[in-house]
Amino acid sequence: MTQPTGVDDRRSLHVRLSVVQYTLAVVFCALTVSFWIFQVVQHAQFKEIAESQYLQRVPLPAPRGLLMDRHGTILVENKDSFNIVLLRERAKDIDRTLETLAAATGVEVGPLREIVERRRREPAYRPIVLIPDATEPQVIAMRARRLEMPGVEELPVPTRRYGADFGAHLFGYVGEVTETQLQRADYKELNAGAIVGQAGLEHAYNALLMGTEGAKDVIVNSRGREIKVLDQEQAVVGTPLQLTIDADLQQSAEDGFKHYGMVHAGRPYNGAAVVLDPRSGEVLSLVSLPAYDPNKFAVGIDRATWASLTTDKERPLQNRALQATYSPGSTFKIVVATAAMEEGVATPDFRVHCNGGATFYGRRFACWNKSGHGSVDMRHAIEQSCNVYFYTLGQMLGVDRIHKWASALGLGEINGIDLPNEVSGLVPSEAWKQRVRKERWYPGETISVAIGQGQVNVTPLSLAVMMMTVANGGTRYTPHLLKGVDRGKGLEPFTPPPPRSQVRMKDSTVRALREGLWLAVNGAGTAGRARLEGRDVSGKTGTAQVISLTGALRARGKIDVRDHGWFVFMAPRDNPVLAGVIFAEHAEHGYFGASIAKHIIDTYFAKLEGRPLPKLEKPPATNVIAAATPTPQRSGGTQ
Amino acid sequence: MFERRLFFHIDWALLSALLCIVGIGIAMIYSTTYVTTPGGGHVGPQVWTQIYALILGVIALVIFLAIDYRMLAEHSLFVYAGLIGLLVFVLFKGSTQFGAQRWIALGPLNLQPSEFARLTVALILAMFFGENRRGARNTSDLVIGGFFTLVPLLLIAKQPDLGTAVTLLPVFFGVTYLAGLRMRLLGVIVLAGILIAPLAWTFALEDYQKSRIQMFIDPSKDPRGAGYQTIQARITVGSGGLTGKGFMQGTQNQYKFLPVAHNDFIFSVLAEEQGFVGVLAGLGLYLFVILRSLEAARLAKDRLGAYLVGGIIAGFSFQVIYNVAMSVGLAPVKGITLPLMSYGGSSLIATMATFGLILNVRMRRFTN
């Protein structure tokens, strides 16, 4: 049946078998050489790639240091919030997953798709944050439907928590470190994505508050799941800081703006308040309104909110207390009085007769009181804010001596508070005008400056410093917010910065100023609303014109042209423990600010003496409109 | 039928080498499929399936050893018809897994008829060329042989399982080459293949097959998509080094960076965990099996036996070489498993059966 192989066939078969055998042997040798090249020659390179695939360093964010007030009340803390994230490696159908998530949590699916699309090019194991700072119901809804959407997870993130409507400009906010910050030497150690302070104290004391980021080395599988922790370096919590702020005083100031704004204008006042301890420069309260909600920045602010904050005409991001300047109005008379007495130009008993106006350098300057104040001395000129008296002092002093004393009291100067972006304001001098305007100073201009008009512009903070310096007799302490630092061994007092400048004012000057300011509140002056039984509150109102009278007519209806109101104060008159400023935008009269100051001072003493803190009654809804109707009073002066 | 003395002519060396390879395979499957749980872990079910298949494979080997191969060859047409019947059956009635109809559900074991195609084709071609005087010198005979090869090839390709289908070609060339295929004709066939390739590219290949080939040419184009497997295979092998990372210590394998590790990429796992040393052992064993089998062809008492061994070994060598090249990222990823070592019951049983035939040929070299 089968054909036995012939000799020829057999030979040919053997040759061909040998060919096959040798060929296969050569191929196997080639394969062996290939493996040699990959496994031995290029081993180090492949080993590194393999390790980079499964070894990963995961940063452990350090919680930021707590902020507490001078009595230890916690003002800013950290809480875990939950981000809902997508791990693409584990997700099956991303489109459907997003739809399910959107339906479960009640968010729009469009923006979720955009987020994923935007980060498409990143490595797939890196989680994409879909819903930052998810609400509790959202997290619960997500957990309930987790099986339907593999790859969707919750990720706890330590998050800053701030009180609502409280000290926003004081604390500032945190956010991801920016590209430009990363270029700077003090941010060199940080990685992209690190959370740093971007405004306020969070920014000023970022280095202390940040702590040190930890890290863990983990083994991950191809789906990015953590399999084993190899090494862990704990994060070091940021340094807790004790502030000079008194939480109750801060709250009373914030409440005051809301309450008296509602009473007098039908809406909360915008503005600023600074309260200092004139014995040390400690800031007890610092308010700027309108404010923003710093919590919104804590887990990454969305674009819409950011845009509305930056384009808002009311500028909620600006800290009015130190980043904006206004005309000081009559509060500047305190500076002129100080200069006159200290320079020996006038004594406290120096008298001027006011009949409603006076002529200087050929031009008539009016007093706000057209019927005149009659003969007034220094104290009563301050009490009644007599323009003619201060015109006269201004003419006698000249602008340079006014400038000298304004600077000594902190006006037109940087006062060095530990908050970012303080501006200096301006008090003019002859040299300034020559330098900036390339013109010589006209003596007539000094007359306007003497009542706080013309070129004079100041920050609310600098007026508080002025009151502090007057209150303590000449020491211009650096206003500061940091009282103590806890470096792990309990609170250690923080050494305050040295005073910015110091003069020794004459006792007679100090006494005359105190009496004049006391009379303004407790006598026939304009600040009666700040009067507080037994507290000897002393102070002075002022109005800052927003726009000239003719301009006001032109701009009618387009912008708010009502004047700003000032109230500067100290309490008590002898050995003051409080000094400060209230600035109420478009309040028209300084005496509305006096009401706010009274509430703050009342709160201070109530707390000091252990009495229940004063409460502001809710304003009745009626009468508001009537009270808000402005009473025009622009007879060319300030009160 | 089974004479006692034949027992002494069994090639024990070849058999030991085969079992050695299967043993390495089971160890590697154990490593890749081990299920880790928070409390510890347990052996993956694939290990038991493979051991079960090994037992069936040894039985198949004994059966194909016991029956005289010449008797089998005489009935090769029936065997062939049976295969075609099964292939047609799976095409219409087979169960679908991983997007292809390949399996016949047989209780606990899923039978994959295509795995038995190489054996059957080798048998019928050896019979056809071994039993005529002319060998493979005649063109019309070549056409008939080609027809025997193409029918199952197309049926398998239709499943679609191009990887397995293609392995029938070396069987055809193995038998016809030994049967005296003229070199000129071989040249013509190779040339025709080169000319047909662009046409096949345009009309015959599915998109996923094209993308596999494209990605092989430049894997970095899409490192997370089709090029991923090729890149990961190279990393797996390269990071193994000279002595390897140790049993069950391969990071590419254990952390699942290497896909289908227990199947297509079992040799990469060996390279990672046992290093170049393990590769030398593995390749050495395979080369030994191949050369030893070809010795059986040399010793065969008739052309039928020699061609049978030649056809089987051609298909086997092609699979081994292709899979090993793929496991080091030197060939496009294709569903060609490593015979004897990769996970896969039908493949193991069928391969053991073919080696039963090879042992058969050698064992019966002195009988008439």
Find out whether A379 and A512 touch, Cβ atoms under 8 Å.
yes
Q: What are the sequence ranges of the domains in chain A? A: 319-482+498-628
pLDDT tens digits for A531-547?
Answer: 888 899 999 999 888 76
Q: Which pLDDT score, from 0 to 100, does residue A346 have?
A: 93
The contact set of A with B (CB < 8 A) is 1-5, 9, 12-14, 16-17, 20-21, 24-25, 27-28, 31-32, 34-36, 38-40, 42-43, 45-47, 49-51, 53-54, 124, 219-223, 227
Q: Which residues of B touch A227 (CB under 8 A)?
A: 255
Q: How far, in Å, CA of A460 to CA of A325, rounded?
A: 7
pLDDT band of residue A168 (cuts 50, 70, 90) is: very high
Please determine, for residue A265, whether its predicted confidence score (pLDDT) is greater than 70: yes
Give the mutation candidate from A1, A10, A24 for the B interface (greatest B CB count, under 10 A). Answer: A24
Cα B222 to the center of its chain, rounded Å: 29
Q: In the numeric block, which tokens belong to residue A92?
A: 């099956």
Q: Does B252 touch chain A if contact means CB atoms closer than 8 Å?
A: yes
Find out whether B339 and B351 touch, Cβ atoms under 8 Å.
yes
Q: Which residues of B touch A223 (CB under 8 A)?
A: 256
Q: What is the DSSP letter of B107?
A: T
Q: What is the mean pLDDT of residues A77-99?
A: 83
Please tell me whether the interface predicted TM-score (ipTM) of this complex is above 0.95: no
For residue A222, give the nearest of B70, B131, B257 by CB distance.
B257
Rg of chain A's alpha carbons, rounded to an integer? 36
Q: What is the mean pLDDT of residues B256-262?
A: 80
Q: Closest by alpha carbon to B300, among B69, B80, B137, B94?
A: B69
Q: Which pLDDT score, from 0 to 100, does residue B285 have?
A: 97
Q: Does B149 touch chain A if contact means CB atoms closer than 8 Å?
A: no
Q: Give the start-end residues of each E strand in chain B.
A: 35-37, 40-42, 95-97, 100-106, 109-111
Q: Which pLDDT score, from 0 to 100, does residue A187 have?
A: 83
Euclidean distance between the first and final Cα of chain B, in Å?
12
Q: How far, in Å, CA of A117 to CA of A130, rounded?
A: 11
Cα A312 to the center of its chain, rounded Å: 16
Least confident segment among A237-241, A308-312, A475-479, A557-561: A557-561
Least confident segment among A477-486, A627-636, B236-245, B310-319: A627-636
Under an 8 A CB cutoff, do B255 and A43 touch?
no
pLDDT tens digits for A327-349?
Answer: 999 999 999 999 999 999 999 99
Find out whether A227 and A218 touch, Cβ atoms under 8 Å.
yes
Please determine, for residue B156, whether its predicted confidence score (pLDDT) is greater than 60: yes
Please determine, for residue A639, whether its predicted confidence score (pLDDT) is greater than 50: no
The CA angle A341-A347-A349, to the nearest 5 degrees, is: 140
| B114: closest CA of chain A, how far (Å) | 25
Alpha helices in B241-344 (DSSP H): 251-254, 266-299, 303-327
Please determine, for residue A487, whether its predicted confidence score (pLDDT) is greater than 50: yes
Under an 8 A CB cutoff, do B251 and A124 touch?
no
Q: What is the mean pLDDT of residues A247-254?
A: 94
Least confident segment among A459-468, B39-48, B120-129: B39-48
Least confident segment among A98-112, A352-366, B220-234, B329-343: B220-234
Q: What is the mean pLDDT of residues A116-131?
A: 77
pLDDT tens digits for A592-628?
Answer: 889 999 999 999 999 999 999 998 877 555 444 444 4
Position with higher pLDDT, B254 vs A9: B254
Please determine, for residue B136, whether its predicted confidence score (pLDDT) is greater than 70: no
Q: Which residues of A593-632 are buried (b: 16+ CB within 10 A; e: fewer)?
A: bbbbbbbbbbbbbebeeeeeebebeebeeeeeeeebeeee
pLDDT band of residue B243 (cuts 50, 70, 90) is: very high
- Cβ within 8 Å of A, B 280-319: 280, 283, 286-287, 290-291, 294, 297-298, 301-304, 306, 310, 314, 317
Please determine, for residue A314, whether its predicted confidence score (pLDDT) is greater than 50: yes
Q: Into which CATH architecture does domain A319-482+498-628 fall? A: 3-Layer(aba) Sandwich (3.40)
Q: Closest by alpha carbon to B67, among B106, B119, B23, B109?
A: B119
Q: Is the peptide bond before B160 cis (omega within 30 degrees of 0)?
A: yes
Q: What is the dihedral of CA B261, B262, B263, B269, to 10 degrees?
A: 50
Mean pLDDT of chain A: 86
Q: Which residues of A touch B136 (CB under 8 A)?
A: none
